[in-house]
């Protein structure tokens, strides 16, 4: 995604991940053949929002704190074997390691500092259901969720 951000080159998305959140958010079929068919027959493309964090480009969300550690610490073998449950096991082990720390986040010029265990900058098209956050930065599309 880094090389495509800001360009006119289209990105075809074929969901092959564990949760496929971006594909779900964009209503892209989760079956490989259906996703490829959608790309092949799509008469037009659409722009999606992206975020630049520390020199890298992210779409949908990026986690700082527990979620990043869980994602990085969950092996491909466990994801293949247990699916989304692999993350639950890793999260359980990691939640005892993390203490709140000072996090400073700026989204579209609006800055906030807080002590939190987790920060989740997002560029979602809607707020994810079931996600609870103690503090939010105001913005209609991009937001940062700080979890204490």
pLDDT at 144: 55
pLDDT at 101: 84
Q: Is the pTM of this model over 0.85?
A: no
pLDDT tens per residue, range 95-125? 888 888 888 877 777 888 888 888 877 776 5
pLDDT tens per residue, range 21-70? 889 888 899 999 999 999 999 877 888 888 887 788 888 888 888 888 88
pLDDT at 58: 85
pLDDT at 44: 77
Is 20 exposed, middle or buried (CB count within 10 Å of its CB: 0-12, 13-18, 19+)? middle
pLDDT at 145: 52
pLDDT at 143: 54
Is 122 exposed, middle or buried (CB count within 10 Å of its CB: 0-12, 13-18, 19+)? buried
Helix axes 66-73, 85-94, angle to 10 degrees: 120
Beta strands 143-147 and 135-136, pairing class: antiparallel
């Amino acid at each position: 995604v880094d090389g495509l951000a800001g360009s006119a080159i289209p990105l075809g998305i074929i969901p092959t991940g564990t949760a496929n959140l971006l594909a779900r958010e964009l209503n892209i079929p989760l079956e490989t053949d259906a996703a490829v068919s959608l790309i092949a027959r799509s008469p037009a493309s659409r722009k999606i929002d992206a975020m630049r964090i520390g020199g890298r480009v992210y779409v949908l969300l990026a986690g700082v704190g527990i979620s990043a550690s869980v994602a990085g610490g969950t092996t491909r073998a466990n994801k293949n074997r247990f699916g989304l449950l692999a993350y639950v096991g890793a999260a359980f082990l990691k939640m005892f390691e993390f203490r709140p720390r000072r996090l400073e986040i700026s989204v579209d010029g609006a800055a906030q500092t807080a002590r939190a265990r987790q920060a989740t900058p997002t560029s979602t098209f809607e707020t994810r259901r079931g996600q609870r956050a103690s503090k939010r930065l105001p913005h209609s599309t991009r937001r940062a969720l700080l979890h204490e």
